[in-house]
Chain A
Amino acid sequence: MSELIEHFSYIVTIFLMVTGLYVVMARGNLIKKLVGLSVFQTSVYLLYIAPGKLIGGTAPILAPQYGAYSNPLPHVLILTAIVVGVATLALGLALAVRIREAYGSIEEDEIITLDHRGDDLRNQE
């Protein structure tokens, strides 16, 4: 039991990771896929941040009255990763909008059917 509590942050991280990845793979709706992708990426933020945090630690101030501080580097890295995640989500949503304009649907199976029908039509020409 104490093991579980000690590894609490990892359990949450892995749960989010697997959930996100499952949603990406199992859902056919383009928006839901992006939601899954975001959850998946967010789990990585936790993976980096949680081990860098020291309980009772402060910001990294090098002065005698502050004994322990949290590792600032993972925070900085994840700041970058968050920006990347936002950019990816924005681009994904923009593509979903364009796909909806072009196909009239954001369901993956319908898009695939439309694509195949397009192939047939062209072959008949």
Chain B
Amino acid sequence: MGLTAHLPALQVVLPLLAAPLAVLLRHGGFAFGLVTACAWAAFAAAIGLWLQVGALEGGTISYHIGNWAPPWGIEYRVDRLTSFVLLLVSGTAAIVLPWSRASIEREIPADLHYLYFAMFGLCLAGLLGITITGDAFNIFVFLEISSLSTYVLIALGRDRRALAASYRYLIMGTIGATFFVIGIGFLYLMTGTLNLADMAERLRGVENSPPVLAALAFITVGVSLKLALFPLHQWLPNAYTYAPSAVTAFLAATATKVSVYVLIRFWFSVFGESLIFEKLPLPQILLLLSLAAMFAASFTAIFQDNLKRLFAYSSVGQIGYITLGMSFDSVNGLDAAILHLFNHGITKAAIFLLIGGMVIGLARPGAVLPAPTFDRLAGLSQRMPLTCFGIVIAGLSLIGVPGTAGFISKWHLILAAMEKGQFWIVGAILLSSLLAIAYVWRFVEVVYFKPAPEGATKQEAPLSMLIPAWLLVIGTIWFGLDTSFTVGTATEAAMQLVKIGK
């Protein structure tokens, strides 16, 4: 039993410990170092787990917390999908944290910096915990840890509207989490267990009883609120727009994606495909809502004046593609959903990081940071060529242009739709991509083709911000060209899930 055997616990415990220590340190710089080090350690642990699961060839790692055997004790369970989401979450944190140092200097009062890092650590611990745990009630607890810290992080935004947005998210998020815990309650009443694997076994035979169906409904609606499934996305645009830039980037890449993960976990691993896809009209409902998200949210995005809000609406639309893949009930569909979860995560993180850098470049030294509205962005490509070019590349990935990560996941989505013989969905995917072209083009037009205001000098964002952001931009190209890691892992994960569900 070396250290490697305890990676599942370390994954969560390190950031969880970093948070209170950061509060005790009461010093921005030390807190930054501590939380960043823990995020990197968590990323290393995630890589280790990914390798360990890969070596098991389709097996799962089961870690017993405190050596209490499941189903009595809490079990951490890592399979292919878990390790993939862990990589996304901890990787994003490891990149966003170093970036955020320069950003929060301008956005958050200096005496609150250590609290910002503490909340970030808690949020990271919560998201990793949701992903790794194999215990239903544990998911709820971690969900609330990450949610509560998220509300605080959003409320740290400079604009007073950040407060209203945070309050609104608190109300909606708590309703969602409470729905989720009601569902867990019903499942516990029916099965007498909280361990997900054990629960799945005991549910066979009582699947059609009303409490189980009610549990399914509560869990699905509750988690859908958290993942901003259209039309339950009302909290998202304002929260993303007014939160500090680093928080927006981290949340856009991870928070909604982890909720998607929870939904996949419950649908495929606990309730099982036969209940979801054969006995109930759930896939049809999800299909309709996904299409609505792809069109309505992307369409709304076109008319936004604030760049952050534009890409927030785009996020709602992109989540539509993920849930669309889930609704197909096939290995390929699920594969596309998992792929897009990852690819969209890094693409959006890149965009929001670059916007964060742009906002700092736009401001006069010492002045309050302006909102990135289009009237301020005219001719910006001359002042910040690297930032603008990065957003354009990531924008191409949102559209799904070949050579970018977004293309790979959309291509898999189209393949899954064709496999089902539903060619009109293929048409819908292509049409909705046109909407993405429209909103990305709006940015390109203003930034590249409008004349810059007089007296504007070339001023890029600081290097400490450009480098992490460009790492992610390069990532979106890398995963668009070399797909062995993403597609390989996603396909394995999808096959593992569908096998469990049968």
A residues within 8 Å of B by Cβ? 17, 21, 24, 30, 33, 37, 40-41, 44, 47-48, 51, 73-74, 77, 80-81, 84, 87-88, 91-92, 95-96, 98-99, 102-103, 111, 115, 118, 122
Contacts and interface: CB of A to CB of B under 8 A. Distances in A.
A39 B364 CA distance: 48
Contact of B166 (A33, A41, A95): A95
Given A41-B174, A51-B189, A95-B155, A103 B160 contact: yes
B141 A84 contact: yes
B163 A98 contact: yes
A99 B163 CA distance: 6
Nearest to B371: A122
Given A80-B141, A84-B141, A30 B167 contact: yes
Contact of A96 (B161, B167, B188): B167
Given A40-B178, A47-B182, A95 B160 contact: no
- Residue of A17, A81, A95 ringed by the most chain B CB atoms within 10 A: A95
A92 B170 contact: yes
B167 A95 contact: yes
B167 A92 contact: yes
A91 B170 contact: yes
A44 B161 contact: no
Given A84-B141, A91-B148, A91-B152, A44 B178 contact: yes
Contacts of A47: 182, 185
A102 B160 contact: yes
Nearest to B169: A95
B17 interface: no
A22 to B, nearest CB: 12
- Residue of A48, A51, A103 ringed by the most chain B CB atoms within 10 A: A48
Contacts of A98: 155, 163
A47 B188 CA distance: 11
B28 to A, nearest CB: 21
Contacts of B167: 30, 92, 95-96, 99
Contacts of B166: 95
B185 A88 contact: no
A65 B278 CA distance: 50
A66 B151 CA distance: 47
Contacts of B337: none
B181 A81 contact: yes
A24 B151 CA distance: 18
Contact of B185 (A30, A48, A92, A111): A48
A95 B151 contact: yes
B171 interface: yes
Contacts of A48: 185, 188
Given A44-B185, A88-B144, A91-B148, A37 B175 contact: yes
Nearest to B147: A88
Contacts of A33: 171
Contact of A88 (B148, B160, B163): B148
Contact of B181 (A37, A44, A115): A44
A10 to B, nearest CB: 11
A84 B152 CA distance: 15
A104 B171 CA distance: 20
Contacts of B174: 37, 41, 88, 92
A74 B137 CA distance: 10
A51 B194 CA distance: 15
A84 B177 CA distance: 11
A125 B170 CA distance: 33
Given A41-B178, A91-B170, A103-B164, 4 more contacts: A37-B174, A77-B137, A84-B148, A95-B170
